[in-house]
Each structure stands twice: as C-alpha cells, then as structure tokens.
C-alpha cells in the first residue's frame, strides 16, 4: 500500500509484506495463513525479518521462522520443540530445526498450532 504526501509516495509495506508479495498466490496464501496463526496464538509476538524470511519472537526469544519455496513452505523452530512432534511429521521432510510442508498438501494447522503453543507455554513457564 502506498500513501501520497504531496509529490511523494511512501510505502506502508514492511519487509514481511514485501517478502510474501514475491510469491505466487497459492504460496502467499499459505505464508499469510502462518502469519495470522502466529498472531492468533501469540498476540504479543513481535514480527521481524531475519535470515531473509519472516521471523517471530516472543519475550525476546525466537518463536518461529518460515519461508516460501517453489514446492514447499519451510518451517523453522527450536530443534527441541520439533523433536517433541517429530513422530507426527509423517511424510514431511524434516531436519534438526526444520520441517518442509509441500505446497500441494493440505496445511497441517493443528500440528503447527501444537508446536507454537508448546514453545510459547515453555517460554511463559520460564519467567
């Protein structure tokens, strides 16, 4: 979105908006779904742009990162949290701190919700 002020135009898009806008609509929708889910589950999350992708912090600690790719959505989180849910990944490719959700598959909102809330609750309990 642009705002005109005299002869000048100012963009109100932040880095995350710009990043998401570079993808095809199908991937944009999934990235925006993740973004909305983070704020729904953790209203106090702080959005940033790190490692060339959207990132979210809670209580000044990394909560989750995600990125769009041609064939999947990369989901990045603290490895110890992902380890707790690894048995639920099924056929999703995964590594120590990441999971790949194929663009053509239904988005596993319930699983992502569990992972985000698990880490949020741990951060709440640590203070």
Does residue 57 surpass a pLDDT of 50? yes
Alpha-helical runs (H) found in 58-125: 79-85, 109-125
pTM for the whole structure: 0.86
| Topology of the domain covering 14-125 | 3.90.1150
Please tell me the predicted confidence (pLDDT) of residue 6.
45
pLDDT in tens, 67-106: 999 999 999 999 999 999 999 999 999 999 999 999 999 9
Please tell me the predicted confidence (pLDDT) of residue 22.
96
Element containing residue 2 per DSSP (H, E): strand 2-5
C-alpha distances in Å from residue 96, one per residue of 8, 51, 81, 86, 100: 47, 17, 10, 10, 12
Put the strands of the sheet holding 46-50 in their side by side order: 46-50, 53-58, 61-68, 72-76, 98-102, 94-95
> In the chain, what percentage of residues exceed pLDDT 70?
89
Across all residues in the chain, what is the average pLDDT? 90
Please tell me the predicted confidence (pLDDT) of residue 127.
66
């Amino acid at each position: 979105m642009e705002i005109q002020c005299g002869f000048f135009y100012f963009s109100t898009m932040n880095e995350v908006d710009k990043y998401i806008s570079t993808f095809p609509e199908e991937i944009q929708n999934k990235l925006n779904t993740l973004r909305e889910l983070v704020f729904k589950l953790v209203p106090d999350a702080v959005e940033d742009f790190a490692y060339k992708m959207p990132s979210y912090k809670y209580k000044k600690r990394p909560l989750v990162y995600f990125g769009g790719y041609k064939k999947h959505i990369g989901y990045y989180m603290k490895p110890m949290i992902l380890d707790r849910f690894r048995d639920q990944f099924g056929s999703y490719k995964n590594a120590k701190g990441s999971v790949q959700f194929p663009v053509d598959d239904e988005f596993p909102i319930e699983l992502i919700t569990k992972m985000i809330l698990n880490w949020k609750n741990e951060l709440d309990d640590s203070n």
